[in-house]
Chain A
Amino acid sequence: MNQTAQQVEKVIQQRYKAGFYTDIESDRMRAGLDEEVIAMISAKKDEPEWLLEWRLKAFHHWQTMVGPNWAHLNLPPIDFQKIHYYSAPKQKDRPKSLDEVDPKLLETFDKLGVPLHERARLAGVAVDAVFDSVSVGTTFQKELKEAGVIFCSFSEAVQDHPDLVREYLGSVVPYTDNYFAALNSAVFSDGSFVYIPRDTRCPMELSTYFRINARDTGQFERTLIVAEPGSHVSYLEGCTAPMRDENQLHAAVVELVALKKAQIKYSTVQNWYPGDENGKGGIYNFVTKRGDCREDDSRISWTQVETGSAITWKYPSCVLRGDRSAGEFYSVALTHNHQQADTGTKMIHLGKNTTSKVISKGISAGKSNNSYRGLVRMARRADNARNYTQCDSLLIGKTCGAHTFPYIESSNASAKIEHEATTSRIGEDQLFYCRARGLDEEDAVAMIVDGFCKEVFKELPMEFAVEAKALLEISLEGAVG
C-alpha cells in the first residue's frame, strides 16, 4: 500500500508537464533591488520620463511598507536583494513579426500547447506570449487591428499608445495599494495591454500566456484592459514554470476598466509549478487583480482555476462604482501536497442597484491548506445592492485543511447579502459507487471533483474548460489511496 502510494506520488511529480527548462541565452540584469535597477529596466524599455518617475515613487513607497502577514499562509521570508528583476531572451532587435522570433522560443510555446506560428495557432484565440520579463510576440495582430482592438505587450503599448497607458495605469490598483502591488509598480517588466473601442465586440478571445523560465528570477507583469462604453471582451491568461528546488516569485498586477455598459470577462488557468511532494520549490504567486466597473451598467466577471504555485495569495476584486453594475467571481482553487492557497475576492458596492455573485470551490488534498477569504462591502449610497456568495470546500483525505473567512461590511440598510458555505469530504460511498460501476479510483475522484466544480467550469470559454478539467485531473492524481 505504502509502496503504491509512493509510486503514485512519483507519477504525479512527472505529471507537471510544463516543468521543462528552455536553454536560451538571456540578457539578465544583476540581482538586487535599488533605484539603479529600476532605472535600468526603464531604460531597457526606452520609457518616457513620467513612467520612470512613477516607478520610483512606487519603489519609495514600497520601502516604507511591510509584507502582509494576515493571510492564512506560512510564508518564509523573501530576500528581495537575491532576485533578478529582469531577464529576457537575447535578441538583436525587437522582432518585427513572429517570423523573426527565436525558434527556440516558438518551440517552447509549442511544447506548452500554445503554438504561435501562423499554421498551428489556436483558432479564434489571439495570444500574447510572455517569456520571463518580455513579450515574445502576439498573434492575430492584423485581424484585431481591423476591428480597432489594441492587443499588444505592455512595452509596446507604452511606445505606441502612451496616452492611454498614462491615463489608466494605476487608476484601479494604485502603487500604494499593497506591498506586492507597490513592488510590481516599481519593477514590472512586461505584460499585456488591451483596448476595446466603443461599441465593439472583440472578434476573438484574447489570451496571454506567462512563462517563467530563468532561474532566480521574479516575474512582475502588468495587465491593463480598458473597455470603452458598450464594448465586450473575453480574456484568458495561462501560466507555467520549470520545476526547480528553489522558490520563485511572481507578483503581477491586473487592472480592468469597464466603462458604460461595457463587459469584461477575465479567466485564468493558473498552473505555476507547485513544488514537489515535500513542499520543496514552486512559485510564490502574489497577485493583485482588480476590476473597476467605473460607469453605469458595466459588468466584470472573474473566473479562475488555480491548481499551481507553492503559495497563492490573490483576490480578484470588483469595484462596483457605476449604478447597476455587476461583478462576478467564479473560482476553483485546488491544493495538493504542501501547497497553500489564500484566495477569494472583494466586492465593493458603491453604486445603486449593484449586484455581485461569488461562487468559490476549494479542493484540498494531501497536506495542503486552502482558504477562501472574501470581502463584501456595501457603501452608504449603494441602495438595493445585492450580493450572493456560495463557498464550498471539498476535502480529499484527512491531512488537509479548508478555511473560510468571510468579511461583510454593510453601511446601507437596503443592501442584501447572502452567504452560503459548505464543507464536505469526498465520500467513501461516492467513491465506492463509482468503482462498483467500473471506474478506477483516480477517475472516480476526478469525476466527483469535476462535478463539484461544474458551476465554475461552465463559465470558462469552451477550449479552456476542457484544459482546466484535464489540469485538475492531473493535479489530483495520487490524491487518494
Chain B
Amino acid sequence: MLKINNLHVVIGDEEILKGLDLEIGPGELHAIMGPNGSGKSTLGYALAGRDGYEVTDGSMEFEGEDLAEMEPEERAAAGLFLAFQYPVEIPGVNNAYFLRSALNAQRKARGEEEVDSMNFLKTVRASLKSLKMDEALLKRAVNEGFSGGEKKRNEIVQMAVLQPKLAVLDETDSGLDIDALKLVAEGINAQRDGKRSFLVITHYQRLLDYLTPDRVHVLSDGRIVESGGEELAERLEAEGYAFLEETSEA
C-alpha cells in the first residue's frame, strides 16, 4: 500500500525528515508516536502534498505510484486521506456541500459517476450518528465555530464518507474526552475491512488500546528510531520518550 524509502523533507532551509523508512501493507494499521517537533505532522503533510514541504531525497510510493509526482487532489482521488491535526475553517461554505463536492471531485477524477444526493445524505447522517454528532453541523460552515472535539470528529466523518484506501490520522485523539475517543476509535474500526490501511499519529496509548495496531513506530528527529508491536506503545506510555536516547546511541 505505502512504501516510504529514505525520505528527506525540507521546509524552507531546514531538514525536518532525515531519511525516514516506513512500509504499510494493505489492511494494516500502524501507529506513529514521538515527541513534539519530531516531524510527525511533517510526514502527514509530505504524504498529502502540501506546498513548501520539499522532498529532497528518497521516495514515497502509494500503490505503486510515486506520490511526489502527484498534486494533492490527485493523491486524494487515488485514495489517500489526511485527517488534519488542526482542521481548517472555511467560513460560509456549507459543511455538507463541501463534503459532497470533495467526494464528487474524487469520483470524477476516478472516472466514476457523481454520487446521488439521497445516498450521500444517508451515508453522512449514519456516520454523524455513530460519532454522536449533531446533524445541525451539516448545515454549518466547514469547521467554523466547531469545538475542538467537533472538528476532530468531523475529520472522521469526512473519512467515513470519502472511504480512502489509506488514512493518515494526525493526532485525531488529542483534546478528546474518553467518550469521544471511543467513538473515534469505533469510527476507525468500522472502516477496517482487511484492505484499507491506517497510519495513526498519536501521543497516547489510550487510542491504541481500542485500535490494536499491527505496528508501532517511534519517530524522533526526523527518523523512525524504533519499531515494534503494541508493547512498544505501552513502554512509551510507562517510560516516556527518555529511553529513546539510549536506543539511538546504542
Contact surface of A with B, Cβ cutoff 8 Å: 427-430, 432-441, 443, 447-448, 450-455
Contact = CB atoms under 8 A, between A and B. Distances in A.
Contacts of A435: 49, 71-73, 76
Interface stretch (B17-25, B33-41, B88-96, B173-181): B88-96
Given A432-B51, A433-B84, A451-B141, A439 B91 contact: no
Nearest to A448: B90
Given A428-B51, A432-B72, A433-B84, A439 B90 contact: no
B166 to A, nearest CB: 13
A433 B90 contact: yes
Contacts of A441: 73
Nearest to A427: B88
B92 A437 contact: no
B93 A451 contact: yes
Given A435-B71, A437-B76, A447-B101, A429 B88 contact: yes
Chain A interface mostly helix, strand, loop or mixed?
helix
A443 B50 CA distance: 17
Interface string B40-76: 0000000011110000000000000000000111011
A447 B98 contact: yes
Contacts of B127: none
Given A433-B84, A443-B105, A447-B98, A438 B90 contact: no
By CB atoms of chain B within 10 A, which of A443, A447, A448, A452 has the most? A447
A326 B124 CA distance: 42
A439 B93 contact: no
Contacts of B102: 434, 437-439
Contacts of B93: 447-448, 450-451, 454
A439 B105 contact: yes
By CB atoms of chain B within 10 A, which of A436, A438, A441 has the most? A438
By CB atoms of chain B within 10 A, which of A437, A441, A451 has the most? A437
A437 B90 contact: no
A303 B102 CA distance: 30
Contact of B76 (A427, A436, A452, A453): A436
A440 B48 CA distance: 14
A8 to B, nearest CB: 14
Contacts of A454: 92-93
Nearest to A444: B73
Nearest to A429: B88
27 contacts: A429-B88, A430-B88, A430-B90, A432-B50, A432-B51, A432-B88, A434-B90, A434-B98, A435-B71, A435-B76, A436-B50, A436-B82, A437-B76, A437-B98, A437-B102, A437-B105, A438-B76, A440-B73, A443-B101, A447-B90, A447-B93, A447-B101, A448-B93, A451-B91, A451-B141, A452-B91, A454-B93
B92 A453 contact: yes
